[in-house]
Each structure stands twice: as structure tokens, then as C-alpha cells.
Amino acid sequence: MRIVFYTGKGGVGKSTMAAAAAWQLSQRYRVLVVSLDPAHNLGDVFGVNLRGRRKRFTDNLHLEEVDLKKLTRAYLKREVTVLSETYHYLQVLNLDSYFSVLQYSPGIEEYALLTSIEKTIREDTRFDYILFDTPPTGLTLRFLALPQVTITWIERLTAIRRQILKKRFTIQKIRGTADTEAKSREIVLNYREDDDDILKRLKALHANYVELNRILQGRDCGIVLVFNPDLLSLRESERLLDGLKELKLPLRLLIQNKVTGENRPTADRTSRILREKASPGIPLQRVGLRTSLPEDATEGLYALPEDLTIHLIPTEGADV
Ligand SMILES: Nc1ncnc2c1ncn2[C@@H]1O[C@H](COP(=O)(O)OP(=O)(O)O)[C@@H](O)[C@H]1O
Ligand SMILES: [Mg+2]
């Protein structure tokens, strides 16, 4: 299974390019397109209403628009449950009463999005390709960075937890077990790593994020950067390239969209700048600005003449 993220500034044509590539790929492969952008327009590109549900466009092509608000609430609910099960004494705090406020916590949307991506990647294995149409650059870079950020945090927290257990062990040695057993109503604090639910959870989370990061940085994953021949889209693309490089995420293709005869000199200049900034050998695909819809009005903008699959389909023994 191949996973592709379509990134770029708002309005450059991410949804259109993801849709066009999906349409072309679906002639030979099973494809799922998921829009993660709260300002969804994937459904519009295909002329279908996707509100909250996955739809089969053709046998080989399935479409979905993720409801970020719903996702965030569901994510939070799950986390609060896990939290109160792991830390029994937190029930005193009654986290439920903070629920409505917690959903606005910084970072929650990113975690919710990442969790949803992870679920799709793990569960929808019957597809050959999953294409993600991403939200604005800032949010996209943040959720793509999240596995690495989280791994760092978990490693710190694990070290702190181990220190706590060590201290408990020392206390236990001084007090002796008889004391604890006598006060049977007292909460018995574990001091062995294998008995500690929190450490177990940290270990599981760590393994999970390491695996997710391995997938995101791996050969079956790719980032496509869509941009237009204009200055603002160039600047935002440069920031995106810097971010991807720092995160060691694999850029596979640059798509310069909305090219015309008139903007061609700017198109040449902007694509040169980006290609110099990207790793050597990253291909560039140009897509012309279409000023009229195809003759056959039943086909939307997803049916583009340019081949958008050529760099996404693996050739024998080669990378994406
Ligand atoms: N090659 C193209 N020719 C003509 N119009 C295009 C082309 N690519 C995108 N558009 C139009 O540009 C607008 C933004 O495209 P969209 O795919 O929604 O961008 P994004 O998802 O990046 O916000 C839409 O109105 C879309 O129809
Ligand atoms: Mg879009």
C-alpha cells in the first residue's frame, strides 16, 4: 500500500491534483482519497456530497472527508477514558467536567488528525493507494511532526516515571510490606516496572509512534507539493520544503499547477527555485490552467489530461 500526502498553500489545487491523480490511479488500482482539510472541497471536485461518510465513487475509487470537529471530540473522549482508567486517582478530578474546554487545547486537532490517519493506514489495507488531501501548511507540518515530537516527550516521561518507581522501591524497602498490607484500604503503589500501568502505556505509545514514524518516513509514503506560479505560493512552498527536510519526510513530486502561456516565465523561475531547494532528482510535473470544463459536463476537473501518476507508481525494483 502506498500513502501520498498532497500539500501546499490553500487554493493552489491540492484537492484537484489529489482527485485527478486518484482518478487516474483508479483505472488500475484500488484508491481511497481522504480529505483532512477542514475547508473540504474534495466532494465538490467529484460533484458528490461527502458529508461525514465515505462514498464509493467507482468500484476502485472511494472518497472521504474527515469531520475534524467530530474527530477531535471522539479523540478526546477516548483519551479521557484511558487516562481515568490508568490513573485511578484522577477520577477525583472528574475530567469529564473539563471536556468542553479540553477540546480547545493546543495540539488536540493535530493528535486527532494523526490518529485518524493512523487508523486509515492500519485498517484500510485493501487499497493500493491512499491519498490524503491535507489542511493548511502549518497544521500539516505540525501533525506530520507529531510522531517525532511525541517520541521525544515519551522518552522524557519514561525516564521520569522510572525515577518515581525507584523512589517508591526505596520507600517500600524502608516501610516494609507488612505496613502496607495492614492498611489494606490504602492505595498500594507499584514499584516494579512490569506492574506499572503508566510505564506499560508509555512503552506501548512509544512503540506505536516509532512505527508510525517509520511508515511516514518509509519508501511507501510520499509527499507531493503543489504550488502555483506566484510569489506567495513559492514562499509557502519553501517553508514546507524546509519543514519536510527537518522532519526527514520523503518529498516525491512537485506539481506546478495553473500554468499558462502568460505566467510561463514566472513558472520557470519559481520551479527552478523550488527544485534547487528540494533534494536532487525530485521530478516536476506541470499542469496547465484550464479555462473551460471538459466537453462532457459529467466529468469534473478531476479528469485532467496531464499524467499525475507517473511518479507515484513504482517501477520494477525502484522507489516510488
Ligand atoms: N488546473 C486548473 N485549472 C483550472 N482551475 C483549477 C486548476 N486547478 C485548480 N483549479 C481551481 O482552483 C481552485 C482551488 O483548487 P483546489 O483544488 O480547491 O485547491 P486547494 O485544495 O489547494 O485549496 C478551485 O476553484 C479549482 O477548481
Ligand atoms: Mg482543498
Q: How far is the CA of 139 from the centre of ligand 2 (A)?
A: 14
| Closest by Cα among 136, 137, 129 to 23 | 129
Q: Tell me the chain's radius of gyration from C-alpha atoms.
A: 24
Does the C-beta of 12 come closer than 6 Å to ligand 1?
Answer: yes
14 lines ligand 1 (CB under 6 A): yes
Q: Is CATH 3.40.50.300 what the domain over 2-140+219-288 is classified as, yes or no?
A: yes
258 CB near ligand 1 (under 6 Å): yes
* Residue 6 host element (H or E): strand 2-7
Report whether residue 290 contacts ligand 1, using a CB cutoff of 6 Å: yes
Q: Which of 301, 306, 308 to mutate to test the pocket of ligand 1 (most atoms within 8 A of CB)?
A: 301
Determine the Cα–Cα distance for residues 274 and 199; give it in Å rounded to an integer. Answer: 44
Q: Ligand 2 centre and the CA of 210: distance in Å?
A: 29
State the pLDDT at residue 320.
Answer: 45
Cα(6) to centroid of ligand 2, in Å?
A: 9
- Note whether 5 and 143 are within 8 A (CB): no
Question: Cβ(13) to ligand 1 under 6 A?
Answer: yes
The CB of 263 under 6 Å from ligand 1? The reply is no
* Selection from 78, 48, 73 nearest residue 61 by Cα: 48
CA–CA separation, 189 and 175 (whole Å): 12
What residues in the chain have per-residue pLDDT under 50?
316-317, 319-320
Listed in sequence order, the residues at least 6 apart from 172 whose beta carbon sits closer than 8 Å to its beta carbon are: 180, 191
- List all residues 6 or more positions away from 275 whose beta carbon is below 8 Å from its beta carbon: 254, 282, 284
φ, ψ dihedrals at 198, nearest 5°: -70, -45
DSSP for 149-184 reads HHHHHHHHHHHHHHHHHHHHHHHHHHH-HHHHHHST
What is the pTM for the complete model shown?
0.89
Interval between CA 16 and ligand 1 midpoint (Å)? 6
